Structure 1
Amino acid sequence: MNGLAWLQNIWHQGKQRFNPHSLQFQLTVGIALVSAVGISSLTAVIAWQLDRLIVTSHKRQVASLAKRVMETVEIYSQMMPTPAAMEKAIAHLTTGDILIWIESPDGEVVAMSEALAMGNWERKVLEIADQGVSPTPQMYAINQGYWLLCGNTLEIQQQDWGTVYLAYDMTGDQRMFYRLIGMLGGVSVVAIGGMTIAIAYYIQTALKPLQQMRQQTAALSAEQLGKEALALTNAPSELHQLETAFNQMLKRFHESWEQQRQFVSNVSHELRTPLTLVCGYLQSTLRRGQNLSEPQQEALSIAASEAKRTVQMLEDLLELARAENRHLHFRQEPLLLNDFVVEVVDMAKQYSQRTIEFKPEQSLVEVIADRDRLKQVLLNLIDNAVKYSEPEQPITIIVEQDSNRGIIKVCDRGFGIPLAQQSRIFERFYRLDDARCRTTGGIGLGLSLVQTLVAGMDGTVSVRSQLGEGSTFIVTLPSLDS
């Protein structure tokens, strides 16, 4: 199992590093491809020029030797008969790489190098010559070898004695050239690989400021807009300009956020008192409304219910505003969760008319918390579970102890929360389903208030949920021992 987890971790890291859509991958591959094309093209040009230089040099050497053969034959012919002069000149100029022979005008070979006379495989060059060769040396592939052949008219004392042929074996030079090209290609591949690694490292280093920017922006929250600012290290001037513009934007966001919070706080405060009076008058009228008709009583009942809901919303907004302005005070005290949760469950059963099961820890769980704030948290979570589960499904409250933390779990068997939305349900005014929230009366403040209150008691709140199986909200608080 550990081996499988290790392989999965390696695979995940590889996918992140070699993500084809990442800027680092695209820049590395692009520059590496351009470098590879450039080095390959340079290698090809060098190989072509070198091959051309070798062949041209040998062609000049063969042409010069062919001319020298004719001059030598003419010199020897002044001292001996012409056929003997031909043999003498050929024997004098033939080497291991050079074959020379002379054909008479009627096509008969009258003189040749010893290798040809011995009938070695080089006689195949005679077959090529019989098909006609150019006076200018040309390359031919013979028996997996490479030969330069040329044929020139032999005139001695202005008399045509036939054609002198010269063949030069450049197989060794060509094979050495191909080995050199192979080595050059290998060096090019190593150079391309080394450049790719160097380019990848350089680009990774160059993109580190962007990674810093991503990490810092990911850690920002609405409460930190006015306190935090991007600070990039070892970044180019363009990214410093982006850093400055981004920090200015954060400042404007912070100012706008502060104005919005102040507006919400002021409006909530100004509306709470008159709405509370309206709610009181409506309830008083309902209690003394014996002379009212049934439609009038129903209308007043709806108005009183909506007024009460609006007052509760304003109370929640004011609580959040106090917490953000650090005006919300907590009276932390030792609290025995086993007894406290029983009290809250009994209270919740009275107003919800639902089955609420309590599963306490066998041992006593004592935490440090604010009694009133914790009661508000649990009632909010129970109310949330009641709203988003079927009436016949029970709500379960679990109390546990985990090292130096006390844990309270509120479990329902309701609709569940999609995984993509679980990270947002604690945001203010965020609602999963507007249609469902209208029927349940939720406005998206309850869980945000829960998170604020729990954080004020040095605790945490989280959720585990699966569609169709329900949700579990987990509140952890510091224990008395910690």
Structure 2
Amino acid sequence: MKLDFNSLRLRLTAGVAAFSILGLGSLASWTGWRMQQILIESHKKNIEEIATQIPRDVEMLSKMVPEEQAISQAINNFKTNNALLWVESLDNKVLAKSNTVMNSSKSQENELASLTQVPIKPKVVQIKNRYFVLCSDSLSLQGKVIGNISVAQDITRDQTMFVVMIQSVGTTSILVIIIMAGAIAFYIQRSLKPLRQLSQMTEVISADDLGKAQLYLDKAPSEVKQLAETCNMMLARLSDSWEKERQFVSNVSHELRTPLTIVHGYLQSVLRRQQNLTEIQKEALETAASEAESTISLLQDLLELARADHGNLHLNIENCILNDIVSEVVEMADKYSERDITVEASKDVIEVKADYNRLKQVLLNLIDNAVKYSEAGTPITLKLTRKEDEGCVQVCDVGYGIPLQHQSRIFERFYRVDEARNRAGGTGLGLSIVRTLVEGMGGKVSVRSKLSEGSVFTVSLPV
């Protein structure tokens, strides 16, 4: 399934998941930092107490024994497990070191004692694979600083537990984020279901359904219901506008056809008595008669479509021999066209359900279309085939062809492809009428075309 990065569902899921990651990540980081502080605080008091008590003991013992012996004795008086105490002179020479047994190795103790900079405030450091809390303070004797005393508390066990706990918190946070993202995606999908239903309902509404189309959602949020009501009002307005437009086209076509027919008749009558006409007058009258005839044809097409829109297009569906209809149409087309029109058909008789006269009109329109949009002298071929429960007629030409981007719209009303098709002078209604008639007879029409190679229009009707 391809992800749509512009979908509302993906954006909401990603947004909530990002905020969840940020929130849980911040919480986990703060928890880790806070636990580290608690770990340090738990040992800080003991270390600071040792670092404070040693100078006082040294001060007292120095009155009874030599200075170095007093320092060593004061350090050894503290029996603190897992803690190392040592005193360094001002020139970083170790004056004394405790004999406390630690879990660390001697090399680690020596490495601790060799540290040149021990922090004054307690701080966690790692020596190889063990962790220590370090702290130092100055050692004064009789008001004179003689060195520094340092304390190292082994907290490897506590730190290991802390690391395991942090890892557990991190793993738990990741699992919680994954579960939350899945739950959020499911919840958002359920929440957007009314919008998808609304989209599916509007998708199937056609121009003929505008008057009776109603969008209704039972268990939907109030905002979606309000949207559905707004769409219903919009559909009602569109239906009213569409009905007025169709009525206008029908009325205008009907009102104009009669006077134009009369005008065309008078023009033809004058042309038949052309003895007293000059060549210029004759040419002008012929042009006027031709334009009147084209306009009458256009109005007739508009009336046909208006009847179809109002459901008044009556078709006399009966069993028809497709072979006979094609032969009759080709014979009629030969009379007004100088093209070579051929028929390719098997000897089998193909019987279809159609309106005999309307089917002739469809095929004549397609042949006329092929004549208009192909070069003079190129052949036009009609192919008859039967496919399962359909009888098919293909009208093939070797013409200009139709660009791929226009083929899906070629049957729309007044839609005309640029360039060659405009030069042919079509009205853009012929193919629309073809589709209306064919679909009214229960069939379908399609086109397959390539530029500069020609077009194939296929009419399929039920047998």
User: Is TM-score (shorter-chain normalized) higher than 0.5?
Assistant: yes
1:112 equivalent among 78, 98, 121: 98
Q: Deviations over 1:361-403 (max 9, x none)?
A: 3321111111101000100111111111111221111111111
Deviations 1:154-176 (A, max 9, x none): 78999999765422122332233
Contact 2:75 2:86 in 1 (8 A): no
Q: Which residue of 1 aligns with 2:38?
A: 53
Partners of 1:365 and 1:108 lie apart in 2 by 114
Match for residue 113 of structure 2 among 126, 131, 136: 126
1:449 aligns to 2:436 (yes or no)? no
The gaps in structure 2 that reach 5 residues or longer are none
Paired residue type of 1:126: A
Question: What is the distance in 1 between the residues matched to 2:144 and 2:423?
Answer: 122
Amino acid at match of 1:113: N
Map residues 305-316 of structure 1 onto 2, 5 A cutoff. Answer: 305-316=290-301
- TM-score between both structures, scaled by the size of structure 2: 0.89
C-alpha displacement of 1:254: 0.8
Q: Distance in 1 between matches of 2:261 and 2:216?
A: 48
Change (3 A) 1:415 1:209: farther
Contact 1:428 1:444 in 2 (8 A): yes
Aligned counterparts, 1:88-237, within 5 A = 90=76, 93-95=79-81, 97-101=82-86, 109-110=95-96, 112-113=98-99, 120-128=107-115, 131=116, 133=118, 136-152=121-137, 164-237=149-222
**Match for 2:461: what amino acid?**
L
1:247 is displaced (CA, Å) by: 1.0
Q: Compared with structure 1, are the counterparts of its residues 474 and 205 closer, same or farther at alpha carbon in structure 2 (3 Å cutoff)? A: same
Deviation at 1:276, TM superposition (A): 1.0
Letter in 1 for 2:95: V
Give TM-score scaled by structure 1 length: 0.85
> CA distance change for structure 1 residues 262 and 249 in 2, over 3 Å: closer, same or farther?
same
Q: Could you tell which deviates more after superposition, 308-317 or 188-197? A: 188-197
On the 8 A contact 1:94/1:113 being kept in 2, the answer is no
Other-structure match for 2:364: 379
Q: 1:27 aligns with which of 4, 12, 15?
A: 12
Q: 1:472 matched to which residue of 2? A: 456
In structure 2, do the counterparts of structure 1 residues 59 and 330 end up closer, same or farther at CA, with 3 Å as the change threshold?
Answer: same
> For the aligned residues, what is the CA RMSD?
3.2
Separation in structure 1 between the aligned mates of residue 187 and residue 24 of structure 2, nearest angstrom = 20
| Secondary structure class of the residue paired with 1:234 | coil
How far apart are the structure 2 equivalents of 1:282 and 1:85? Answer: 136
Residue 425, structure 1, aligned to residue 410, structure 2: yes
Q: How far off is 1:417 after superposition?
A: 2.0
Matches within 5 A, 1:11-22: 13-14=1-2, 18-22=3-7
Secondary structure at 1:292 match in 2 = coil
Counterparts in 2 of 1:362 and 1:65: CA distance versus 1, 3 Å: farther
In the alignment, the residues of structure 2 paired with residue 150 and residue 394 of structure 1 have an alpha-carbon distance, to the nearest angstrom, of: 103
Structure 1 residue 391 and structure 2 residue 360: aligned?
Answer: no
AA partner of residue 423 (structure 1): S
Q: Which AA in structure 2 matches 1:123?
A: N
Shift of 1:152: 4.9
Deviation digits for residues 167-218 of structure 1 (CA, Å, limit 9, x no counterpart): 2122332233223222222222222222222222222222222222322222
Partner of 1:459: 443
What CA deviation, in whole Å up to 9, does each residue of 1:441-475 have, x standing for no partner?
31111111111111221111122222332222111
Count of residue correspondences: 459
Give the 3-state SS of the residue equivalent to 2:449 in structure 1. Answer: strand
Task: Check whether the contact 1:357–1:396 (CA below 8 A) recurs between aligned residues.
Answer: yes
Conserved 8 A contact 1:369-1:457 = yes
Cα distance between partner residues in 2 of 1:159 and 1:380: 118
CA contact (8 A) 1:355 1:395 kept: yes
Percent identity, please: 47
Does the aligned pair in 2 maintain the 1:460–1:477 contact within 8 Å? yes
> Where in structure 1 are there 5+ consecutive unaligned residues?
1-12
Distance 2:276 2:89 in 1: 146
Measured in 2, the distance between the counterparts of 1:457 and 1:151 equals: 101
